[in-house]
Structure 1
């Protein structure tokens, strides 16, 4: 359920209320009774972060502002508090809530609203009783003089496109084929304002995208190559920034078949990188950032049909390089390689790819962060890191030494599509590097893209990771 977020000048008597405070003393002007104030004080002394007061007219929630050493941790705590409160209010079937900050911290309040809105997402499309399951909260009112309508409009756009990304990830292959993904991008482009060009299979064959075509051999559904562009009249960058997202709409592993439980069963999420790029492009366009950005999404399934590419095959890529395929389950890098080569035609300032690429990345840092590596300048990584902490989609930069390329040497082709058992996330990045000639950042989101268990406001299933990170990073390029 999408929340309608709007400003108000006074507490809505018919809505529940959330007060954000430093201490119970901040509540003296709110009209709470002495007993209620004493109750809040008692809860805070017991080290509870929230105090809930149930009244006949609605629920009053008092949230104690976090006071951690680092501000990014405070903002994340605000989002988590909002998640708990959102759940509580939906459980008692509240339809509206007014949030009032009594601490004077605009950034904390904005993080709280963001967490609240992100927590209200549901994917109910395939439930017969979807209406019964739907959350009741529909309106979030903000009582604060420092937050502008523009602030809220931007936040609404960000949250809406995280929702879009989550839904794309949550959709099963029975609906979301590569062609249907292109249709979804078309729908989003029309509402958001970026341009879209979709290349069909014949056009992909003409370009010689051998990696994408090889992965597609085992499925009856054709591949697509999606080119999104946001090019404002007064862009601050002379060369575009290119975002590339892995769009494997379902991955069986191909002939290197995955086991089902805990592996193949969640592989509808293997286009999480594509979803992030689509959501980011929509948010960038809707907020009219003065930055020229291009988004590329190669899309296909990876299936083990009789025509499927096989371990031992040698594939000629769009770049002309030949790849010895030793594992058909290392398909993401095959389709990304063609997209990264395609990006060369733009002579980009920077290319960032996002992909649910390796189990090794998930094993290394779990769902707690995003593995990052590449050839871009340290300043780019520092800027991206700053954004990652601000939105709490933290990046962990891995080494990118040339030594790792040795693990990709083939006896019969220019390179292999896998390295060895060790450093799997890094050798995947080094494989992709061979198809670049520009500043490059690779982000492996295999850990946080699809969550098997609820994780606060990220929820369960598709998390939409990458949308907020990319938007914040591109916004920093605009100097905003």
Structure 2
């Protein structure tokens, strides 16, 4: 993480400071005004009276910024407004080439400083990329953020830093192209991250995948010149609070051409390096949990391959025998992600899990339904579990919309020659994909998250940026850590 977070007892004289003010503030307290001249104080108070939400005062040697809490109907919306203020603030700091900033909370919202810092740090993320010309690289001027006084404890700052590192890991993985991150390299990167954070990784190679008869993963891999992997990430602290593990499953298609059911290009295929964003989110979540020593036993399963039309590529009409023993008629080779996930969901049963959550950039139907603003959720977990996950989504602004898995949707995936087929109707495609996965997610509570919309953005959007967003990491971290309370 290039941006360092730290605690400071007080801001030094003539340092760049950010003050978070309560909603409706028009008059600065003497403590907040500090050493401002009467003219400077009048300028700030006039701007606040004009209902400006972020006021910048340039002292030339240093800067003062005043961020006003938004007036929103829910705490989640106030929190999101603070993150977005962090993004705006980052733009101002970058323009002024500020390297160090001190943030002080003058509002009654206890976590305001952490939320503003979160938006600031997420906005500061840069994918290193592969440019060789030093002039073309964007140097990050902001390097240190100090949270002043009682704005946050050292433990809270350290936890936020660990969480952000998990998000950035996921973003880095999603942003890497296929020739830098094939299935084997993906598995190795996740293992390296585990060595750094404190989770273990067992990488199953082709021979082991064949021995386990993972027919979905093997079929998708047939057209690739490179072997598949199946990574088992496990974080098990000494005294976990849960008796049965939480299992996270992530789709790991490192590039999706659509196979023989070739995607059109441009547009549809061009961004398909992001088709492993579910697997990246699993790795990022495990990283954050391990880095922060969260006392939960969590397992991540990431089946990985690319999907290409070469060689002995699987074809529409093929019938596959899956890890579970069920047979699947292939109607479309571009509906490949559910085949990988089906094997992993079947494999997850061996752990007798407390709950299984899978994440996948699975369907265009989810994007058409929700755009990039939310992920689709569905599954067999209890309403209480869905409610807790939804609450976590609103808390971190990675919102979920629950869709049904009614019995009637099973008609969409019926096959004349196999137990089921891998493609539903033209309507409700994200639901029929979920209904397909349901057949393999048996013996435990399960939630499916289709993150196809928010996982990768083709244009910059506030602190989510452009490219891989790390969607799922903050959501799952919030949800899982709340199980401790």
TM-score, L = length of structure 1: 0.98
Does the 8 Å CA contact 2:241/2:295 hold for their aligned counterparts?
Answer: yes
**More displaced, 41-50 or 175-184?**
41-50
SS in 1 for 2:178: coil
Q: Distance in 2 between matches of 1:103 and 1:125?
A: 39
Residues 278-313 of structure 1 deviation map (CA, whole Å, 9 limit, x = unaligned): 000111111222211110000000011031111111
Q: CA deviation at 1:460?
A: 0.6
For the pair 1:434 / 2:436, whether they are aligned, the reply is no
Question: Which whole-Å deviations, capped at 9, do the CAs of 1:120-144 have from their partners, x for residues lacking one?
Answer: 1001321224574121100001112
SS at match of 1:145: helix
Match of 1:454 in 2: 460
Moved over 6 A (4+): none
Task: Quote the residue 1:19 is aligned against.
Answer: 19
Question: Among 52, 77, 84, which residue is 1:80 paired with?
Answer: 84
Query: Which shows bigger deviation, 234-243 or 170-179?
Result: 234-243
Name the counterpart of 2:106: 102
1:87 and 1:27 map into 2 onto residues whose CA distance is: 27
2:292 maps to which residue? 287
Residues 408-463 of structure 1, C-alpha deviations (whole Å, 9 max, x = no match): 00011110101100110000000001001111000000000000111111101000
Counterpart secondary structure, 1:124: coil
> Does structure 1 conserve the Cα–Cα contact (< 8 Å) formed by 2:330 and 2:422?
yes
Please report how far the alpha carbon of residue 41 of structure 1 lies from its aligned counterpart in structure 2 after TM superposition: 2.5
Q: Which residue is equivalent to 2:10?
A: 10
After TM superposition, give the deviation of residue 46 of structure 1 in Å. Answer: 3.0
Deviates more, 1:17-26 or 1:211-220: 17-26
Residues 319-352 of structure 1, C-alpha deviations (whole Å, 9 max, x = no match): 1111110110000000000000000111111100
Question: What is the CA deviation profile of residues 151-178 of structure 1, one whole-angstrom value per residue up to 9, with x for unaligned ones?
Answer: 0000000111111100100000010000
Match of 2:327 in 1: 322
Counterparts of 1:5-404 in structure 2, within 5 Å, are 5-13=5-13, 15-22=15-22, 23-29=25-31, 30-130=34-134, 132-404=137-409
Q: Distance in 2 between matches of 1:39 and 1:258?
A: 57
**SS of 1:367 mapped into structure 2:** coil
Q: Deviations over 1:185-227 (max 9, x none)?
A: 1110011101110000011001000000000011101000000
Alpha carbons 1:230, 1:293 under 8 Å: kept = yes
Q: CA deviation at 1:232?
A: 2.0
Shift, 1:56, TM fit = 1.9
Correspondent of 2:412 among 407, 410, 424? 407
* 2:472 aligned with 1:471: no
Q: CA deviation at 1:146?
A: 4.8
Q: Which runs of 5+ in 2 are unaligned?
A: none
Q: Which moved more, 1:419-428 or 1:130-139?
A: 130-139
Q: Equivalents in 2 of 1:143, 1:83: separation in Å? A: 19
Q: Is the contact made by 1:24 and 1:37 (CA closer than 8 Å) also made in structure 2? A: no
Cα distance change of structure 1 residues 257 and 285 upon mapping to structure 2, 3 Å threshold:
same
Provide the C-alpha distance between the structure 1 equivalents of 2:259 and 2:151, rounded to a whole number of angstroms.
54
CA distance, structure 1, for counterparts of residue 432 and residue 247 of structure 2: 22
Relative to structure 2, which stretch is displaced further, 316-325 or 19-28? 19-28
Task: Tell me, yes or no, if the aligned pair for 2:114 and 2:151 is still in contact at 8 Å.
Answer: no
Question: What CA RMSD, in Å, does the superposition of the two structures yield over aligned residues?
Answer: 1.2
CA contact (8 A) 2:237 2:293 kept: yes
In the alignment, is the contact (CA less than 8 A) between 2:315 and 2:330 conserved in 1? Answer: yes
Distance verdict in 2 for CA 1:125–1:14, change over 3 Å: farther
C-alpha separation in 1, matches of 2:111 and 2:394: 14
Is 2:455 the partner of 1:444?
Answer: no
Q: Distance in 2 between matches of 1:169 and 1:108?
A: 30
Write the distance in 2 (CA, Å) between the matches of 1:39 and 1:402.
64
Work out the CA distance in 1 between the residues paired with 2:404 and 2:282: 24
Matched residue SS, 1:294: strand
Structure 1 unaligned blocks of 5 or more:
none
Could you tell me how far 1:235 is from its partner in structure 2? 1.7
Once the two structures are overlaid, the 10-residue window that deviates more, 268-277 or 30-39, is 30-39
Query: Is contact 1:27-1:37 (8 Å) kept?
Result: no
TM-score (norm 2): 0.97
The 2-side partners of 1:256 and 1:193 are apart by 40
Secondary structure, counterpart of 1:470 in structure 2: helix
SS in 2 for 1:10: coil
Q: In the comparison of the two structures, how many residue pairs are matched? A: 479
Distance 1:130 1:150 in 2: 37
Q: Is the 8 A contact 1:26 1:102 kept in 2?
A: no
Q: Deviations over 1:254-286 (max 9, x none)?
A: 111111222110000000000100000111111
- Give yes or no for contact 2:17–2:102 (8 Å, CA) kept in 1: yes
